[in-house]
């Protein structure tokens, strides 16, 4: 049973077989609160890997599939078929499985970015899900309690009218040419699998989504400078983007996979007329809030802060015991489970949607176009 005493949702998975980092993360996230039970999977496009992975995960032999379309048909026909599916494949393999399962009436949990092309993203947006099947895009950083608190502070007017948004996501794992045996690097640097964007699609969309999620600001245009510093690399590995928001606020986004010494250094700073906030993923249980002319205040996860109801969403243990990446990921899984069950009204509007994914693809395409046009300001859409 789940922690809330309810029956676990029967979960399937497409991709994420043996050796796949993100599949492992999704499985942990789905289990933390006991809201899901993995019962079926098409875990690899290679039949032998799919079978071996399913066996290693303890799946019944008749629920280990080598083709996602077969899985969608078979599971939709079973009385005990899956109720939701997690799609954790490379970008170019998001669209077809998502479409197949939505049309089969199975809820979809899809890794970001939504697809590898804007055309596929818009086509997916037009799909009519059977039986009201719902969609979750796993921008997992929106699950951090203090990110929820930051959003609540902005909505409350505590920062005043927003002026400046600074967001960055630097890594260093692609600072040199990756070998052929590095599967994670291979597809991320291959345009046929990753799509038009490299670092911008892999981590830049996370940074962009986080800024949009917290501030609520709508982007009007971007001016982008995308580079591939590693010789021979076909997709960007470093991104600098200026953003213009409706209402006059300005933003700056930096995403890099060649920033030597940086380890998933996601951070967000938002400044308004009255106050500012600063948050870093490497210390996610703390956030600085500073009102103009007053001492800085350190807000803590689960601590005594105004509007604590927002910050408490997803808090599992008392303040002072650290929670992090996996718990934030689990929060969006568990809250989506509540929505699936019909008792998650309080989470509606908090979780990333298919529409957010389409906007993320519009952001990527606008940035790529801008960079090719000598960083000319380019509108989204």
The pLDDT of 185-189, averaged and rounded, is: 89
Residue 94 in tokens: 């998001």
CA distances from 187 to 35, 44, 193, 278, 304 (A): 31, 14, 6, 33, 45
What digits encode the pLDDT tens for the residues 15-44?
A: 999 888 999 999 999 999 999 999 999 999
Residue 306 in tokens: 């105004």
Residue 30 in tokens: 């789905």
Could you give the residue ranges of the DSSP H alpha helices within 196-236? 199, 205-215
Could you give the residue ranges of the DSSP H alpha helices within the chain? 21-32, 47-56, 68-77, 95-103, 118-125, 145-156, 183-188, 191-194, 199, 205-215, 308-312, 325-341, 354-372
Report CA 340 to chain centroid distance, whole Å.
Answer: 19
Q: What is the pLDDT of residue 309?
A: 61
User: Which of 86-95, 343-352, 365-374 is the least confident region?
Assistant: 343-352
The pLDDT of 1-6, averaged and rounded, is: 78
What digits encode the pLDDT tens for the residues 260-269?
A: 999 999 999 9
Q: What is the pLDDT of residue 4?
A: 75
CA atoms within 13 A on the CB side of 144: 27
- Can you tell me which residue has the tokens 């604590």? 308
What digits encode the pLDDT tens for the residues 98-126?
A: 999 999 999 999 999 999 999 999 999 99
Measure the CA–CA gap between 227 and 217, rounded to whole angstroms: 27
pLDDT at position 307 over 70: no
3-state SS class at 240: strand
What digits encode the pLDDT tens for the residues 340-359?
A: 999 999 998 999 999 999 99
3-state SS class at 68: helix
User: Which of 30-39, 317-326, 371-380 is the least confident region?
Assistant: 317-326
Measure the CA–CA gap between 324 and 339, rounded to whole angstroms: 23
Residue 320 in tokens: 């002072």
Compute, in degrees rounded to 10, the torsion defined by CA atoms 40, 44, 48, 52.
Answer: -50
The pLDDT of 238-250, averaged and rounded, is: 98
Measure the CA–CA gap between 11 and 24, rounded to whole angstroms: 14
Q: What whole-number percentage of the chain has pLDDT above 90?
A: 89
In contact, 326 and 29? CB cutoff 8 Å: yes
Confidence of residue 310 (pLDDT cuts 50, 70, 90): low
In contact, 234 and 258? CB cutoff 8 Å: no
- Can you tell me which residue has the tokens 């200026």? 242
In contact, 311 and 289? CB cutoff 8 Å: no
User: Which of 117-131, 222-236, 295-309 is the least confident region?
Assistant: 295-309
3-state SS class at 142: helix
pLDDT at position 311 over 60: no
Measure the CA–CA gap between 220 and 379, rounded to whole angstroms: 6
- pLDDT: is 92 or 313 the higher one? 92
Confidence of residue 312 (pLDDT cuts 50, 70, 90): low
The pLDDT of 79-88, averaged and rounded, is: 98
Average pLDDT, the chain: 95
* pTM for the full predicted model: 0.95
Question: To which H or E segment does residue 241 belong?
Answer: strand 238-245
What digits encode the pLDDT tens for the residues 228-239?
A: 999 999 999 999
| Phi-psi region at 132: left, alpha or beta (left = phi > 0; alpha = psi -120 to 50) | left
């Amino acid at each position: 049973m789940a922690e809330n005493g309810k029956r676990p949702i029967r979960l399937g998975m497409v991709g994420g077989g043996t050796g796949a980092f993100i599949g492992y993360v999704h499985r942990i996230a789905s289990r933390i609160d006991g809201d899901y039970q993995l019962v079926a999977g098409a875990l690899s496009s290679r039949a032998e890997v799919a079978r071996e992975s399913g066996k290693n995960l303890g799946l019944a032999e008749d629920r280990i599939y080598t083709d996602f379309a077969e899985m969608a048909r078979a599971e939709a026909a079973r009385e005990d078929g899956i109720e939701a599916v997690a799609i954790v494949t490379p970008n170019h393999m998001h669209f077809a499985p998502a479409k197949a399962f939505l049309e089969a009436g199975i809820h979809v949990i899809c890794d970001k970015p939504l697809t590898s092309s804007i055309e596929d993203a818009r086509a997916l947006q037009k799909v009519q899900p059977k039986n009201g099947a719902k969609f979750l895009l796993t921008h997992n950083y929106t699950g951090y309690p203090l990110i929820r608190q930051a959003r609540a502070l902005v909505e409350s007017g505590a920062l005043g009218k927003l002026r400046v948004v600074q967001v960055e996501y630097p890594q260093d794992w692609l600072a040199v040419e990756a070998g052929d045996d590095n599967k994670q690097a291979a597809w991320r640097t291959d345009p046929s699998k990753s799509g038009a964007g490299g670092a911008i699609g892999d981590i830049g969309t996370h940074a962009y989504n986080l800024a949009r999620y917290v501030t609520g600001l709508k982007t009007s245009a971007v001016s982008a400078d995308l580079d591939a510093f590693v010789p021979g690399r076909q997709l960007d590995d470093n991104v600098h983007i200026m953003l213009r928001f409706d209402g006059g606020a300005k933003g700056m986004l930096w995403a890099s996979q060649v920033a030597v010494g940086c380890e998933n250094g996601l951070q967000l700073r938002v400044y308004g007329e009255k106050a500012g906030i600063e948050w870093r993923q490497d210390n996610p249980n703390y956030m600085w809030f500073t009102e103009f002319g007053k001492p800085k205040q350190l807000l803590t996860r689960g601590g005594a802060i105004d509007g604590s109801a927002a910050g408490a969403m997803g808090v599992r243990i008392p303040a002072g015991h650290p929670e992090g990446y996996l718990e934030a990921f689990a929060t969006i899984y568990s809250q989506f489970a509540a929505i699936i069950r019909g008792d998650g009204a309080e989470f509606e509007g908090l979780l990333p949607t298919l529409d957010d994914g389409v906007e993320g693809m519009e952001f990527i395409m606008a940035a790529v176009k801008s960079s090719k046009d000598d960083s000319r300001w380019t509108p989204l859409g």
